[in-house]
Homo-oligomer: A and B are copies of this chain.
Amino acid sequence: MKKIDVGVLGATGMVGQQFVARLEHHPWFHVSWLAASERSEGKRYDEASAWRLATPMPDAVRALSVDACIPGRGPKVVFSALDAGVAGEVEEAFARAGHIVLSNARNHRMDPLIPLLVPEVNSDHLAVLAEQRRAKGWSGAIVTNPNCSTVVLVMALAPLQRFGLKTAVVTTMQAASGAGYPGVPSYDILGNLVPFIGGEEEKIETETLKILGSDAGRTPHALVISSHANRVPVIDGHTMTVSVQVEAKAALGDVREAFRTFAGRPQELKLPTAPIPAILLRDEPNRPQPRLDADLGGGMAVSVGRLRPCPVLSFRFVALGHNTVRGAAGASILNAELMQAELQCLS
């Protein structure tokens, strides 16, 4: 099969680099176009980009000439690693010009006509794309993935939907890499933690409801979430404690079973980057831990551990996921895989 050409908007930044790195050996996609701000235009990618990842820059992109983010240039499929400051308008312009935009930015996530997609959880929300196209008048499309904490939470809550989700109290302990680059000053976080991340709690509390919602997310789930977001001196991996209340009188064993057997369309379709299992339920008392477990399933799986009854709500547990993989570039790529497998709309 000929690979599908894809581009990356905001290719020189931290998330852009992650798109480039993770797409290097992708069986379906081939990075043929890199775009960034005007000051990088015309430069070779290896000159325009201060590479910050542990994996080396793929040789295939080193000499690519960086283009400006101008709709119409580049291939049909573009991944957007743009900052929220510019993502809103640029992504719309690309969709209008016929591009399929897989966006990691927060700007369009809550738009009722734009899917906020977690393929294991709400693959059916892709159905809104037809109306998106009609209402917006776009020949292309925009599909978004959630905030890096939201995706871990929603993956961990999805198996419990069958018991009737009522409330959840969540405390996140988020890695430094979640703040991008330069992100958190080291003076603020060495031997320290910061019990606040601007806008994060709101995203967790609202995005989750759209993803779990009905009518392609236009009717949010009735679940009520209270979240406490913290930055901790961890490199990669967002860990969170979750106490959750459910309607049904579920036994602990039922909940265990729900986690153990959880799978969604990516696993059914055997998408290239679908983690199998999607969720790993661990029995060790002191796991999951971000440094040991964030890379599970190529960084795409969510680890759940310490599942036990909650004396205040119904159950409590710890969930962990890789914030720059499952929570960013990897999420957009899985979204693209799902769209191609379900709709064949990328090729």
Chain A residues within 8 Å of B, Cβ to Cβ: 52-54, 167-169, 171, 173, 176-177, 179, 181-196, 198, 205, 224-226, 228, 230, 232-235, 239, 241, 243, 245, 285-293, 295, 305-306, 310-313, 316, 318
Tell me whether A291 and B185 are in contact (CB under 8 A): no
- What is the count of identical protomers in the complex? 4
Residues of B within 8 A of A232 (CB): 173, 193, 232-233
A194 to B288, CA, bound (A): 8
Instruction: For residue A113, give the distance in angstroms from its CB to the closest CB of chain B.
Output: 27
Closest to A245 in B: B312
Q: Is the CB of B173 within 8 A of A173?
A: yes
In the complex, A227→B217 CA distance in Å? 32
C-alpha spacing A115/B225, complex, angstroms: 38
The residue that A312 contacts in the complex, of B53, B168, B187, B235, with Cβ under 8 A, is B168
Contact of A306 among B196, B234, B285 (CB under 8 A): B196
User: Is the Cβ of B167 less than 8 Å from the Cβ of A177?
Assistant: no
Q: Is B239 a contact partner of A195 (Cβ separation < 8 A)?
A: yes
A-B contact pairs, 29 of them (CB 8 A): A53-B292, A54-B291, A54-B292, A54-B293, A168-B312, A169-B169, A169-B310, A177-B187, A179-B186, A183-B186, A184-B185, A184-B186, A187-B235, A191-B234, A191-B290, A192-B292, A193-B232, A193-B239, A195-B306, A195-B318, A198-B285, A205-B311, A224-B312, A225-B312, A226-B243, A228-B306, A228-B316, A232-B233, A233-B233
How distant is the Cα of A168 from the Cα of B318 in the complex, in angstroms? 18
Per the bound structure, the CA–CA distance linking A278 and B23 in Å amounts to 28
Contact check, A241 vs B234: say whether CB atoms are below 8 A apart.
no
Contact between A192 and B311, CB atoms less than 8 A apart:
no
Hey, which chain B residues are within 8 Å of A173, CB to CB? 173, 193, 230, 232
Once the chains bind, are B177 and A183 in contact (CB under 8 Å)? Answer: no
Kindly list the 9 A-B residue pairs having the minimum CB-CB distance in the complex, ordered from nearest: A182-B185, A191-B191, A171-B171, A228-B241, A192-B291, A226-B312, A196-B286, A176-B186, A195-B318
Are B182 and A187 in touch, CB under 8 angstroms? yes
Are B225 and A291 neighbours in the complex by a CB distance under 8 Å? no
User: How far is B309's CA from A205's CA once the two chains are assembled, in angstroms?
Assistant: 14
Task: Tell me if A190 and B176 are in contact (CB < 8 A).
Answer: yes
B226 touches A316 (CB 8 A): yes
State the Cβ distance, A241 to closest chain B Cβ, in Å. Answer: 4
